[in-house]
A and B are shown apart, each in its own frame.
Chain A
């Protein structure tokens, strides 16, 4: 008899929707481009929120695979996207471990910290390796829009999951 390793908050249908949406948004990067909304960050939002709920260990490997797929698709260095996705997953997991699922404010703090840290690292990387100074205005708008999106997505996800309870 097959026993479940953990109680999953999302049922199969909800899980499928998550993965479909994730792949859909990931694939849309070959068409949709905006200097003010980084789709990479949107994927980070999705992973961060998903990490707060119960998951199977296969999800971690799947997210790593999505990262490699994105690297192949967009021509990034191998491992870069997986690193990015897993960082948000790790952050989401730590956030939920410390605060418990549903603690809104601490989640926001963690998420803002993650986005801020990545932006600083991105800025340093481009400055030292390509002598390019990041456009802080666009970066700031990017961060604000991503955080606003996080608030909406979090509420939507909470109500979506509550349908299952």
Chain B
């Protein structure tokens, strides 16, 4: 028995046997990909149990790269600080006037809302989380954040940056979560365009800007129009800012996001 097994192993050493082994494995993995094994419960349970382990392991292995990038970013940031500080000093006076105007407008809106007996449906609790990593190849963009099941995070919760919507929670692990970004090709967001609330769907295109599809009033949309969530379908609350129309070609309306995802360090997870 032992001899037979050894004979088998040694026979694999010939180039033809190895090629047969490679070809068999190629066929096996091709069938695995085509059979949509990924949709099965077994696949989900394997992924759930192993993804956090593999992520933690890879984080340790890739920590030198992480340190180098963090160091480089710090140097760049410090060089920008001086320049920004100078600019901010110049803007301080005019900003203070703008700030007064904003507060005044906010107070006015609150007063009108009270008079019209409306309620503010856009107030939700949120949790702040740190961005641990950004995982992406050309089309599958996602981030990992430091909040998980222990923080009551659930799949589908919207994720916001400082300026607007960033994405939504996809996988929830024990202490971390994976969020799909708006640029991910599987991202489909119901949006409202301009003050006239033209309804459409925004889909991610990987490294390219997201595009608008199924716009009913396509001819009325123009470059610079603001895009926000429409709230339709109940996936996201309405009026969350996303971006603005950056270009309109024959076939495509492209969106420039307000949030620079590359520079995100912290995000807010809305409890919606």
Contact = CB atoms under 8 A, between A and B. Distances in A.
Given A27-B58, A35-B207, A72-B54, A86 B185 contact: no
Given A72-B50, A126-B185, A90 B142 contact: no
B219 to A, nearest CB: 22
Contacts of B106: none
DSSP class of B's interface residues: helix, strand, loop or mixed? helix
| Range for the number of chain B residues in contact with chain A | 35 or more
A26 interface: yes
Interface residues of A, number: 47
DSSP class of A's interface residues: helix, strand, loop or mixed? helix
A6 B13 contact: yes
A130 B183 CA distance: 13
Interface centre among B13, B15, B17, B66 (most CB of A within 10 A): B13
Contact of A33 (B37, B59, B136, B205): B136
A78 B22 contact: no
Interface string A127-149: 00010100100100000000000
A73 B29 contact: no
B96 to A, nearest CB: 39
Nearest to B171: A75
A3 B62 CA distance: 37
Given A77-B38, A83-B29, A23 B13 contact: no
Interface of B: 9-10, 12-13, 15, 17-19, 21-23, 25-26, 28-30, 32-33, 37-38, 43, 46-47, 50-51, 54-55, 57-59, 61-62, 65-66, 69, 133-140, 142, 144, 171, 178, 185, 205-208
